[in-house]
């Protein structure tokens, strides 16, 4: 049964999409079955996966409003090796269209239910807002992965984000967890980066991933070729960092599964 993770942060430009594409490809490289869902009308995860967002027969929008099944809209990312549920600007209409539909916050969760057992991981690339689309992602997910840059204002935004996730979780998806915080575009030479990093460590403890993603030009170049860094330049620091993140994520899953099966008397 797939673990479903929303990659979310209401800030734009923090590497949500970069993380989705490169983590998806890295999980595939370690033989996991992965579905990536583009839930941002900008369609960057779609383009970055090598799929033309202007020529989609079906997209996630059709799935959300019940026009087609998830399988009908799915496409294979050749370079990434994962299945993709693509998006484009049509998705901007979802915000309004969903309002009139029953179970409007649960549409994505319900659409995923029949395919969850076909995957090990389902990653959802969220738009940079706490919109109805992001709420659908949070309701459909087991956990949230929060990519962030270690800058001063990031901490402020983070408190709002964590509060919102908790509120939405309590109301609509009580088992939702903050799976992990990921430091992106990391520059260890900056003292601000180190200060913010320390505060994150103090606040979030082991929910902060040990793996950090360095600033690396290959990660920025790869999407214009429709491929993950792992294919564009597999020796690049960016590609290697996302491979390390995939291992850390899998290690945590295994640890989590073990501790969940410890008999109560030994716990």
How many residues touch Mg ion under the rule CB under 5 A: the total is 3
CA distance 85 to 237: 28
Q: Does 77 bind Mg ion (CB under 5 A)?
A: no
Give the CA distances from residue 92 to residues 2, 107, 167, in Å, rounded to whole numbers and listed in that order.
27, 16, 24
Contact 133, 126 (CB under 8 A): yes
Using the rule CB under 6 A, give the single segment among 98-106, 134-142, 150-158, 215-223 that binds ligand ADP: 215-223
* Closer of 14 and 230 to ligand ADP (Cβ): 14
Closest CB to Mg ion belongs to which residue?
17
Q: Minimum distance between the CB of residue 197 and Mg ion, rounded to whole angstroms?
A: 23
* C-alpha torsion sign, points 219, 225, 229, 234: negative
Site for Mg ion in 84-113 (CB under 5 A): none
Q: Is 16 in the site for Mg ion (CB under 5 A)?
A: yes
17 binds ligand ADP (CB under 6 A): yes
Q: Which of 17, 77, 131, 134 binds Mg ion (CB under 5 A)?
A: 17
- Report the residue number, 97 or 136, with the smaller CB distance to ligand ADP: 136
Identify any residues that bridge with 121 across adjacent strands, giving them in sequence order.
3, 34
Closest distance of CB 96 from Mg ion, Å: 21
Rounded (10°) angle between helices 191-204 and 152-172: 30
Q: Could you tell me the smallest distance in angstroms from the CB atom of residue 134 to ligand ADP?
A: 12
How far is C-alpha 80 from the chain's CA centre?
15
Among 46, 88, 216, 236, binds ligand ADP (CB under 6 A): 216
Q: How many residues bind ligand ADP (CB under 6 A)?
A: 17
Residues 25-54 within binding reach of Mg ion (CB under 5 A): 44
Residues 121 and 35: their CA atoms lie apart, in Å, by 7
25 interacts with, out of Mg ion, ligand ADP, none, CB within 5 to 8 A per kind? none
Exactly one of 85, 213, 227, 239 binds ligand ADP (CB under 6 A); that residue is 213
Whole-number Å distance between alpha carbons of 11 and 18:
14
Q: Mask: binding to ligand ADP, 35-54, rule CB under 6 A, as x and -?
A: ---------x----------
> Which of 177, 185, 219 has the alpha carbon at shortest distance from 3?
177
Q: What's the CA angle centered on 38, arms 117 and 214, to 5 degrees?
A: 100
Q: Following CA atoms 214, 216, 220, 223 in sequence, which dihedral angle do they give, to the nearest 10 degrees?
A: -90
**Footprint on this chain of ligand ADP (rule: CB under 6 A):** 12-18, 44, 128, 184-185, 213, 215-216, 219-220, 238
**Footprint on this chain of Mg ion (rule: CB under 5 A):** 16-17, 44
């Amino acid at each position: 049964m797939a673990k479903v993770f929303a990659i979310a942060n209401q800030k734009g430009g923090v590497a949500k999409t970069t993380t989705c594409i490169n983590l998806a490809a890295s999980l595939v490289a370690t033989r996991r079955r992965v579905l990536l869902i583009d839930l941002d009308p900008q369609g960057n995860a779609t383009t970055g996966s090598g799929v033309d967002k202007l020529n989609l027969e079906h997209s996630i929008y059709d799935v959300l409003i019940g026009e087609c099944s998830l399988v009908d809209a799915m496409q294979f990312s050749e370079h990434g090796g994962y299945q993709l549920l693509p998006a484009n600007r049509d998705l901007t209409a979802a915000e309004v269209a969903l309002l009139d539909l029953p179970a409007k916050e649960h549409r994505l969760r319900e659409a995923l239910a029949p395919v969850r057992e076909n995957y090990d991981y389902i990653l959802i690339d969220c738009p940079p807002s706490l919109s109805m689309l992001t709420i659908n992602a949070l309701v459909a997910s087991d956990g949230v992965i929060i990519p962030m840059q270690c800058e001063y204002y990031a901490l402020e935004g983070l408190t709002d984000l964590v509060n919102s996730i908790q509120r939405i979780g309590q109301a609509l998806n009580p088992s939702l967890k903050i799976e992990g915080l990921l430091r992106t575009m990391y520059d260890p030479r900056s003292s601000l980066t180190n200060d913010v990093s320390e505060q994150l460590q103090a606040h979030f403890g082991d929910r902060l991933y040990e793996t950090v993603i360095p600033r690396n030009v290959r990660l920025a170049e790869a999407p214009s070729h429709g491929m993950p860094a792992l294919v564009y330049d597999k020796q690049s620091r960016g590609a290697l960092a996302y491979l390390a993140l995939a291992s850390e994520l899998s290690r945590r899953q295994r640890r989590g599964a073990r501790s969940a099966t410890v008999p109560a008397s030994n716990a």
